[in-house]
Amino acid sequence: MSSAPVIAAVDGSEDSRRALEWALEAARRRAAELRVVHVRQYAAWGQADVLVAGPPDAGGDPVLDEVRALLRDRPDAPAVEYVALEGVPGAVLPELGADAQLLVLGSRGRGGFASLLLGSNGLAAARDAACPVVVVPRPGREVHGDGPAEPGPRVVVGVHADSPDDATLDFAFTEAALHKARVQAVAAYPWPVQTWSAPGQLVPPPIDEDAVGNETRSLAEGFLAPHRKRHPDVRADVEALPGDAAGHLVAASKDADLVVVGRHRRSLLAPARMMGSVTQAVLLHAASPVAVVPPSPPQE
């Protein structure tokens, strides 16, 4: 396992406590250190329960003290380091990923508005961190669909049949091995396909949906092949489904251990980091924790 730590971002909220528990289990599975980080944003004005008025008290950090008390008597807790930082959380949190194997945070912090499904800090970290970011949602999110076809631990991963990313698939298979879970790979294809013809021209022949679905499945199976070889004990099932990828992934999140999605690769036309509409929709609506994985470095 990597010697890099698993980082849990905490702020005293219930959301961050759930993230802490998830990060604790992740560190145990990886035999890694758990680094608990509180980013303290302070100002001379602001809501008392969100900002610290004036410079932080050098005598200690109440949020970290609370976590210390919570973990003190855990018999199987990993090694834990506590770090208090100062700054704007949306800027500081992504930087923590530079030397971490995983960054875990809740869907909203103490400064979040009740009407928001995902806080700005979570969006910033998922978009900008150099390591995978896991966002743990609040319980009770309802998703449409019948749920999994069979019980048992399950890691869901989205597969882009036209532009797959090995980092996303590798993370999903590694997590499935750690969770002793199966991989449910969801490959969506657009349907119905829009065909256009100018007035007076012949209408193109109809496209066979079964052929499109079979081709999508075949491509996805090919992308999964090397990961199956590296993880022979992990069962992986491919589902080729018509329509909206985000909707299928959100539906599959019901009773899942984790949903894994990728982040857009930078390009000359889009040099800034982007998450993509599918990834953002899954973060906003999935019932399970969601891992956002940075793309593989471009090959020379």
User: 100-138: per-residue pLDDT in tens?
Assistant: 999 999 986 444 433 333 456 778 888 899 999 999 998
How many other CB atoms are found less than 10 A from the CB of residue 145? 13
Q: Is residue 148 one of the residues assigned to a domain?
A: no
**Residue 203, φ and ψ in degrees, nearest 5:** -75, 135
Q: Is residue 144 one of the residues assigned to a domain?
A: no
Do residues 160 and 275 share a domain?
A: yes
Residue 71 Cα to chain centre, angstroms: 25
Do residues 130 and 181 share a domain?
A: no
Q: What is the CATH number of the domain that holds 60?
A: 3.40.50.620
For residue 296, pLDDT beyond 70:
yes
In this prediction, residues 276-280 reach a mean pLDDT of 84
Is there a contact between 25 and 74 (Cβ–Cβ < 8 Å)? no
Do residues 117 and 205 share a domain?
A: no
Q: How confident is the model at residue 199 (pLDDT cuts 50, 70, 90)?
A: low
Do residues 254 and 130 share a domain?
A: no
**pLDDT, greater one: 37 or 44:** 37
For residue 267, pLDDT beyond 70:
no
pLDDT of the residue at 271: 38
Strands 6-9, 102-106: pairing is parallel
In the block, residue with structure tokens 């509409």: 277
**Residue 201, φ and ψ in degrees, nearest 5:** -90, 160
Do residues 120 and 18 share a domain?
A: yes
Do residues 264 and 179 share a domain?
A: yes
**pLDDT, greater one: 46 or 187:** 187
pLDDT of the residue at 264: 67
Is there a contact between 258 and 289 (Cβ–Cβ < 8 Å)? yes
Is there a contact between 155 and 172 (Cβ–Cβ < 8 Å)? yes
pLDDT of the residue at 195: 54
Structural domain range at position 50: 6-136
